[in-house]
Structure 1
């Protein structure tokens, strides 16, 4: 058995968890915050049998859309002088960790 930890955008989390549920994967959702943009993310926790890991990854990859967003950025040119300008950054997709599970108990 494997434990899949998938960090996805809040924009994609409902679609991904619904698609996983539709294929009989049980999903736990945790609200998390990303580091770079400090944007809201969702970490999906899925217990998966070894032979179903590829199917789980395929669903996550299919439903997590990569896109770009324009975010404000600032540059400092002098003491007390800051200029704000928009920067386009890639967002979306998924970061996935797959861990071996030694034991699993449903109590």
Structure 2
């Protein structure tokens, strides 16, 4: 058995949870937030039998697409110590996935 930890953007969460549930994957959702843009995201803990790992990964990959967005970061300092917003194109979305071996599993 494996534990899949999937960190996904909140925009992708609804569709992903629906598709995982349709395919009988059980999951637990934890709220989290990103460090760079401070955008809300969620961490899903998904217990998966070894033979279904690829199926689960395929669903995550299909539902969590990376995309670009413009962000106004305050990173140019003017000589008068005021800030000028500087638009930057950043990549958001997608998923970060970790797969861990599960030594024991209990369900009460």
TM-score interval for Structure 1 and Structure 2 normalised by the shorter chain: over 0.9
Aligned length: 107
Q: Which residue is equivalent to 2:96?
A: 95
Partner Cα separation in structure 2 for residue 96 and residue 79 of structure 1: 44
- Report the alpha carbon displacement of residue 31 of structure 1 after superposing the two structures with TM: 0.7
Normalising by structure 2, we get a TM-score of 0.94
- Report the alpha carbon displacement of residue 40 of structure 1 after superposing the two structures with TM: 0.2
Partner Cα separation in structure 1 for residue 32 and residue 77 of structure 2: 30
Q: Which residue is equivalent to 1:22?
A: 22
Q: Which residue is equivalent to 2:45?
A: 45
Q: Which residue is equivalent to 2:57?
A: 57
Partner Cα separation in structure 1 for residue 94 and residue 9 of structure 2: 7
- Report the alpha carbon displacement of residue 71 of structure 1 after superposing the two structures with TM: 1.1
- Report the alpha carbon displacement of residue 81 of structure 1 after superposing the two structures with TM: 2.9
Superposition CA RMSD, Å: 1.0
- Report the alpha carbon displacement of residue 79 of structure 1 after superposing the two structures with TM: 4.7
